[in-house]
Amino acid sequence: MKNRPVPALVIKTGAFLALIALCVYLYPLVESNAKFHFQLGKPWTYELITAAYDFPIYKTEEQLSKEQTKAMQDFTPYFTMISEASSNHHLYIISLQDKSMLEEQQHKHIAIVQGKRVHQIVSTQQLYTPKSAYMQLGYEVIPNLKLDSAMTAHMQQSILSNIALTEGMVQAGEKIIDRGEIVTDETYRMLTSYIRAEDERHAPSQQLGLTRLGVGLMSAMIIGLFIVYLIVFRRSLWEDVRAVLLFCMLCGIMVLASYLAMRSKNAVFILSLIPFTWVPITARVFYDSRTAMMLHLTTIALVAMATPVPYQFLMVQLVAGSITIACLKDMSQRAQLATTAGLVLVGMSAIYTCILLVTNGSLRMCSGYTYLAYGINALLIICVYGVIYLIEKLFRLVSSLTLVELTNINSNLMLDFAEKAPGTFQHSLQVSNLATEAAKKIGAKVLLVRTGAMYHDIGKMLHPQYFTENQADGINPLLTMSYREAAQTVIRHITDGEQLARKRHLPEAVIHFITTHHGTSLVRYFYNCEVNAHPNEEVQEADFRYPGPKPTTKESAILMMADAIEARSRSLKDFAPDTVRNMVNEMIEAQVLDGQFSQTPLSFRDVEQIKQVFTQRLLVINHRRVQYPTLNNQ
């Protein structure tokens, strides 16, 4: 049995569920103290916190470290007497290594153990090394004391374990801190102790289960809103599995990076470095501004659930995303990324400063490291060009930057096109201009249709002599063939063009224009000639029809119309408005009746607007010129 393809709905559902699962899995890994962001000597920016139960105030790590250091300074290491090294010179001799250890740890005394009892306490100043003993006695001796590392370690651990970890208690109902109050040493210890008590008080399994449930439900609601947007406003994207997978991948990567960053002690700083603007930039380059904004909002909402400063994070990233999408509304140059990076830096810094003024009434909490993070973040925007390239290859998409590069008439392929088939090249440029104006009128993808128009006839490069626009000498080789052969020769430029495009690694979106710009229409000239030449015979239309497929997008439909209109306009002798208008109506209506646009989302309104644009454009291009007068005396 053949393997059935996985339904698209299953793939899309799985992708969104995987994104929710990622949030649920990662959220509990975020450190508890990261949920509050506070600094010593800075105002408390959250609501009033009151103790709901008694809990001890834990000493800070710095306090414990100082107490442990002091305890170790008063500690006496334990040494045992080496019987075989004993002599009657009555000196206490230790190895150079043990002497260095005592000096490094600043010990003042040692305890000499005999059996299991301390025999004597000796000052470290009374100890000799083999070298100093030799200078005292005049002959070589060996150490007679050896460090008892086991007993020393045991006694050290005993002393350290007796150091109290807490000092004082916070009683139930006691206020810990209120909004706007400065975080002092005392309140800082109370806050960290409160967070620790919260973690220890709740049963880990119960707390983790409820946390995962809440995160899962909230993530599902946020992602659900994005799904509703796609279904209601961007149905074509919802039906595109690649688009859904790309959205989930972009969102998932940012969530993963953010949640891992928040495990750091400098969570806010590292979080500010993550370029969330990559998400709207990528979505805008491949799709549209509204989808880019919705995806950006979905991403930062998922991340904000775990951030220590959600209000600040949301406002800063909302401003950054909005500026990015506005600047890249029509992204056609790499330089736009640099401009966008500068404006994003200004916007992020400005909104951060405003938040400080709103929440604190001053700039006392202003951190230069935050502005530095925003600067690095802005620089990373420029690096998104490489990300876009990778996504193009991975998802077989085409970006606006790639389309701009393809429209460069100085590229090798375009130069070959202009040299080998100059007439067709000029025809393609005119078709591109017509199609571009029509795309602007009905809101289609202008850059895509412009690029597709420039490449739609590259198949004629292989045999340019068969097409009238390239026959400068007036000789037409098609006239020496039968009508069927001539039709097949003309039709072949579709397959030739597709093969050439794949050989030159053109994107699939551009190849689509090559294969669909004639749809399944008839090569009307040779078909009519064949019918007229054989009136009593049945002529097979299939021999005179292009292989297709038919256009499936607004852009490919516009190109099909523009191509036919531009070619037909070259045969007009009279460019009066009525003549041009009738010709445009006749050509497009024939394509409509032939069912060439049955698979496109074009509306009747779109078709009428396209007709108007083509008519106006042709009249402007072919307007009558003023005849220059000659001199009377010549």
Break the chain into its structural domains and give their ranges. Answer: 8-26+206-391, 66-161, 400-621
Instruction: Label residue 388 by pLDDT band (50, 70, 90).
Output: confident
- Buried-exposed string 600-621: b where 16+ CB fall within 10 A, e elsewhere: bebeeebbeebbebbbbbbeee
pLDDT in tens, 519-537: 999 998 898 998 898 888 8
Question: Given a cut of 80, is residue 22 above it in pLDDT?
Answer: yes
Instruction: Reply yes or no on whether the pLDDT at 144 is more than 60.
Output: yes
Q: What is the pLDDT of residue 347?
A: 94
Q: What is the pLDDT of residues 333-352, one digit of tens each?
A: 667 888 888 999 999 999 98
C-alpha span between 56 and 194 (Å, rounded): 8
- Mean pLDDT, residues 477-483 taken together: 89
Q: Of the given ranges (31-40, 225-234, 265-274, 451-460), which has the lowest mean pLDDT?
A: 31-40
Name the pLDDT band for 365 (thresholds 50, 70, 90).
low
Average pLDDT score over residue span 179-205:
75
The residue ranking higher by pLDDT, 497 or 184, is 497
CA distance 286 to 500: 25
Q: Which pLDDT band holds residue 40 (cuts at 50, 70, 90)?
A: confident
**How many whole angstroms separate alpha carbon 62 and alpha carbon 39?**
15
In the prediction, which pLDDT does 231 show? 94
pLDDT of amino acid 206: 56
**pLDDT(83) > 70:** no
Contacts for 412 with CB less than 8 Å, ≥ 6 apart: none
Predicted confidence band of residue 364 (pLDDT cuts 50, 70, 90): low
Query: Reduced to 3 DSSP states, what percent helix, strand and coil does the chain have, rounded to the nearest 5?
Result: 65, 5, 30
Residue 591 banded pLDDT, cuts 50, 70, 90: very high
pLDDT band at residue 393 using 50, 70 and 90 as cut-offs: confident
For residue 32, pLDDT beyond 80: no
**Which of 178, 220, 166, 184 lies closest to 54 in space, CA to CA?**
166
Given this model, what pLDDT does residue 1 score? 42
**pLDDT at residue 236 in the model:** 86
| pLDDT at residue 111 tops 60 | yes
Residue 73 has pLDDT above 80, yes or no: no
- Which of 61-75, 84-98, 241-255 is the least confident region? 84-98
Share of the chain above pLDDT 70, in %: 90
Over residues 96-120, the mean pLDDT reads 86
Over the stretch 121-137, which tens digit does the pLDDT of each residue have? Answer: 899 888 999 899 888 88
Q: Is the pLDDT of residue 245 over 50?
A: yes
Full DSSP string of 348-414: HHHHHHHHHHHHHSSSTT--HHHHHHHHHHHHHHHTHHHHHHHHHHHHT---HHHHHHHT-TTSHHH
Per-position DSSP letters for 136-156, written without gaps between them = HHSS-----EEE-HHHHHHHH
State the Cα torsion 540-543-545-550 to the nearest 10°.
100
- 595-611 confidence digits (pLDDT tens): 999 999 999 999 999 99
What is the model's pLDDT at position 31?
A: 53
What residue has token string 């929710």?
20
pLDDT at 576: 86
Q: Return the higher-pLDDT residue of 626 and 435.
A: 435
pLDDT score, position 628: 62
> What band does 558 get if pLDDT is binned at 50, 70 and 90?
very high
- Residue 355: is its pLDDT beyond 50? yes
Q: In the prediction, which pLDDT does 65 show?
A: 84
Domain 400-621 adopts which CATH fold?
Hypothetical protein af1432 (1.10.3210)
Least Cα distance to 427 among 461, 453, 459, 394 occurs for: 453
- Give the pLDDT score at 626: 57
For residue 319, report the phi and psi dihedrals to the nearest 5 degrees. -65, -45
6 CB-near residues (< 8 Å, 6+ apart): none
Give the pLDDT score at 260: 85
Q: Which two tokens stand for residue 74?
A: 């008063």
Give helix then strand counts, H and E, for the chain.
26, 10
Least trusted range by pLDDT, from 88-102, 156-170, 201-215, 383-397: 201-215
Q: Is the sign of the CA dihedral 441, 447, 449, 454 positive or negative? A: positive
